[in-house]
Amino acid sequence: MSPTVDLTNDGDIAVLTIDSPPVNALSADVRDGLAAGFAAAIADPLVRAIVLICAGRTFIAGADISEFGKPPRGASLHQVQLDMEASPKPIVAAIHGTALGGGLEVALACHYRVAVPSAKLGLPEVKLGLLPGAGGTQRLPRLVGVEQALKMVTSGVPIGGKAALSFGLVDELAPEGELLATAKAFAGRSGLALIQVRDRNEKVEAAHANAVTLFADFRKANARAMRGFEAPEANIKCIEAAVNLPFADGLAFEREQFMHLMNGLQSKAQRYAFFAERMANKIDGLPADAKPLPVESVGIIGAGTMGGGIAMNFLNAGLPVTIVETKQEALDRGVATIRKNYENTAAKGRMTAADVEARMALLTPTLSLEDLGQADMIIEAVFENMDIKKEVFGKLDRIAKPGAILASNTSYLNVDEIAASTSRPESVIGLHFFSPANVMRLLEVVRGARTDVQVLATAMATAKRIGKVAAVSGVCHGFIGNRMLSLRQQQAQALLLEGALPEQVDRVLYDFGFPMGPFQMSDLAGLDIGWSADTSKGATIRDRLCEAGLRGQKNGHGFYDYDAQRNRVPSPVAEKIIFDFAAEKGIQRRDIDDTEILERCLYPMINEGALILAEGMAQRASDIDIVWIYGYGWPVYRGGPMFWADHQGLAKVAAGLTRYGFEVAPLLAKLAAEGGSFTGQV
């Protein structure tokens, strides 16, 4: 009937099965198949009711995102839904895996929904800078109520089968493995009413009385999470329309808002990021037989800021971790911090006390490196010092079992040099986590000159297992992320000397969409990281602040002054240090406008990105963007630095760099001259 949609009859029940791997997305083929399948089943006099089910790992996971922005083809999803709702025979959706976006919207156009408990149902369009464009914002609140619908459309987070049952989103749960049989039995019931979700007005009418307060409160409570994004507000407006307008008008409003978002740059950026994230996981030239090695136990060396956070990732994934320190005190402190983090999570109700104990039970603290002899993967997170790292890897070489992966969490150091301190450089790799390591999604995987492909494949698979987004970097100072960051830091410092103040630079970057500006970040991290009074040369503003006893948030004084609640105000002491330093250097301070601040902070990063690409340190421009989105809080609605540069226009970026006295990277100069782009997205 259709290559992707199959129709069979079982007695008087028609079963329509979508089989379009990998995720049964609603491509033109699938929509055509659904249109034809429903028409045939409705026309068949032997059929009394229809079950819609999917083959493979999931129910429909949404519209086919790869079709967005292209000329429309095939049957319209809206028409298919109208035909389904108008069907004189009841249609039952049978849901397993993920019913997401357009997938859930198809299920909402059915008369009934049956799901297995493990199913996940949601409207994640907001994560693509969109809103549900096939009636989701109008039908969902009619089933689950306005507050729950608001949560679902603005967070994009799906709910499980049981919760869906309790909210009225599904009508019945099927035992796992018995979905089809249960859905058929449901459809076969006599006297099933033809319920159209569009007519179920009770819940939206109930919200009418206090709608104004409800929406105002919701906007206020979520303002911080939604800052800068266009899509969450558009989603809220559509739910408001569901409350205030008749169904047909609400649907028209949703359509208009959907098209507006779809044509905007934010959604384009977020859709680009969706595919970039998946692409980053693919390694050019990796042979097919490079299968990941088993990783069932992990060793971590160093229980400081990073070691503890890294350990939590593996404990969360249920893997036993042995953590090593040199002194009992440091070990105890590290373990206590891990416990405290878990207990804080439990106190917020996001994990049970039993979960805390289960994770802690997987952790073995030790002072003996020898205890890592059986670990499949060992991650070193000791001080950022080449001699210490070499000594640790030299010892590991003797202790670790053959084939164990030996990883370093170094931020800047040469992974090849570290590898050379072992007799097995093929087993050595960089696994660069970001602080806080249990929270930040990025894992920069640093591929050494001699790193074995299987070791690389294992690192990528492990990243996925612990919920990280991995991007591969070659060996260079600071890898992709920190190498680019240092350019931004240099400019931020220079801007202070030339006339800007910390709060101005921070505001410009915050308004751009970063969670915080560079000076707020320095104060938070601690100004004295990597600084010591003995070696300070007084050569930077930071040196001068540290010499004056300013350490950042930890002692209440840094680029800003902080009160007990960590509220910040400009620091007269820091300002004087900046002014004096500028005077000492003979710099005449001037007014600097916001555009110059933004361009000088971001353009040099892009220039460095072009060098990184040309040197082959990143496989592709989109990997650089993933590093910045997941490691440094680059606003995803701006697609990452390389995507953003493409949309600024590379000629403009190159001209700006020249104006500010930078040498334009050859790749950037070439693309700018040709009218080309880094990402192919313009």
Candidate segments 302-310, 491-499, 506-514, 604-612, binder of ligand NAI by CB under 6 A? 302-310
Is 176 designated active site? no
Is 503 designated active site? no
Contact of 517 with 558, CB cutoff 8 Å: no
The separation between CA 339 and the C-alpha centre of its own chain, rounded to angstroms, equals 25
At 317, the amino acid letter reads: A
Among 2, 81, 98, 451, binds ligand 3HC (CB under 6 A): 98
Among 33, 37, 90, 124, binds ligand 3HC (CB under 6 A): 124
- Which of 168, 409, 144, 182 is closest to 298 using CA atoms? 409
**Residue at token pair 């950026």:** 269
Candidate segments 5-13, 100-108, 179-187, 325-333, binder of ligand 3HC by CB under 6 A? 100-108
Q: Does 100 bind ligand 3HC (CB under 6 A)?
A: yes
Q: Which is nearer to ligand NAI, 376 or 380 (CB)?
A: 380
Candidate segments 47-55, 125-133, 326-334, 655-663, binder of ligand 3HC by CB under 6 A? 125-133
Candidate segments 18-26, 544-552, 596-604, 626-634, binder of ligand 3HC by CB under 6 A? 18-26
Q: How far is the CB of 268 from ligand 3HC (least distance, A)?
A: 13
Rounded Cα gap, residues 194 and 214, in angstroms: 32
Residue-wise burial string across 520-557, b where 16 or more C-beta atoms lie within 10 A, e elsewhere:
bbbbebbbbeebeeeeeeeebbbbbbbeeebbbbeebb
Q: Does 260 bind ligand 3HC (CB under 6 A)?
A: no
Q: Does 238 bind ligand 3HC (CB under 6 A)?
A: no
Among 118, 326, 368, 658, binds ligand NAI (CB under 6 A): 326
Which of 67, 85, 105, 230 is the catalytic position?
Answer: 105
Q: Does 250 bind ligand 3HC (CB under 6 A)?
A: no
Nearest-CB residue to ligand NAI?
Answer: 304
Question: What tokens does 170 get?
Answer: 């599904």
The pairing of beta strand 560-562 with beta strand 469-473: unpaired
CA distances from 596 to 198, 591, 620, 669 (A): 52, 10, 28, 20
Q: Which is nearer to ligand 3HC, 63 or 500 (CB)?
A: 63
Among 37, 132, 250, 656, binds ligand 3HC (CB under 6 A): 132
17: helix, coil or strand?
strand
Rounded Cα gap, residues 95 and 115, in angstroms: 4
376: helix, coil or strand?
coil
Among 33, 37, 90, 102, binds ligand 3HC (CB under 6 A): 102
The pairing of beta strand 469-473 with beta strand 5-10: unpaired
Q: Does 66 bind ligand 3HC (CB under 6 A)?
A: yes
98 binds, among ligand 3HC, ligand NAI, none (CB under 5 to 8 A by kind): ligand 3HC
Q: Which is nearer to ligand 3HC, 25 or 362 (CB)?
A: 25
Dmax of the chain from CA atoms?
92
389-428 mask for ligand NAI (x: CB under 6 A)? ---x----------------xxx-----------------
Q: Which is nearer to ligand 3HC, 275 or 383 (CB)?
A: 275
Q: Does 138 bind ligand 3HC (CB under 6 A)?
A: no
Rounded Cα gap, residues 491 and 478, in angstroms: 17
Contact of 301 with 381, CB cutoff 8 Å: yes
454-493 mask for ligand 3HC (x: CB under 6 A)? ----------------------------------------
Number of residues that bind ligand 3HC (CB under 6 A): 23
Rounded Cα gap, residues 17 and 14, in angstroms: 10
Contact of 273 with 625, CB cutoff 8 Å: yes
Among 5, 92, 197, 301, binds ligand NAI (CB under 6 A): 301
307 binds, among ligand NAI, ligand 3HC, none (CB under 5 to 8 A by kind): ligand NAI
Contact of 497 with 578, CB cutoff 8 Å: yes
Write phi, then psi, for 3 (nearest 5 degrees). -65, -20
Contact of 482 with 529, CB cutoff 8 Å: no
**Residue at token pair 């089933």:** 143
The alpha helices in 227-362, defined as continuous H runs, are: 231-244, 247-262, 265-280, 305-316, 328-347, 353-361
Contact of 622 with 641, CB cutoff 8 Å: no
Strand partners, 298: 321, 377
**Residue at token pair 């931004």:** 488
102 binds, among ligand NAI, ligand 3HC, none (CB under 5 to 8 A by kind): ligand 3HC
Q: Does 254 bind ligand 3HC (CB under 6 A)?
A: no
CB contact set of 80 (below 8 Å; sequence gap of 6+):
31, 34, 35, 38, 106, 109
Q: Which is nearer to ligand 3HC, 177 or 467 (CB)?
A: 467
Q: Does 303 bind ligand NAI (CB under 6 A)?
A: yes
399: helix, coil or strand?
helix
Number of residues that bind ligand NAI (CB under 6 A): 23
Among 383, 477, 576, 675, binds ligand NAI (CB under 6 A): 383
- Which of 297, 476, 291 is closest to 372 using CA atoms? 297
Which of 125, 254, 325, 596 is the catalytic position?
Answer: 125
Residues in touch with ligand 3HC (CB under 6 A): 22-23, 25, 61-66, 98, 100-102, 105, 124-125, 128, 130, 132-134, 136, 278
Residues in touch with ligand NAI (CB under 6 A): 301-307, 324-326, 330, 381-384, 388, 392, 409-411, 433-435
**Catalytic residue list:** 105, 125
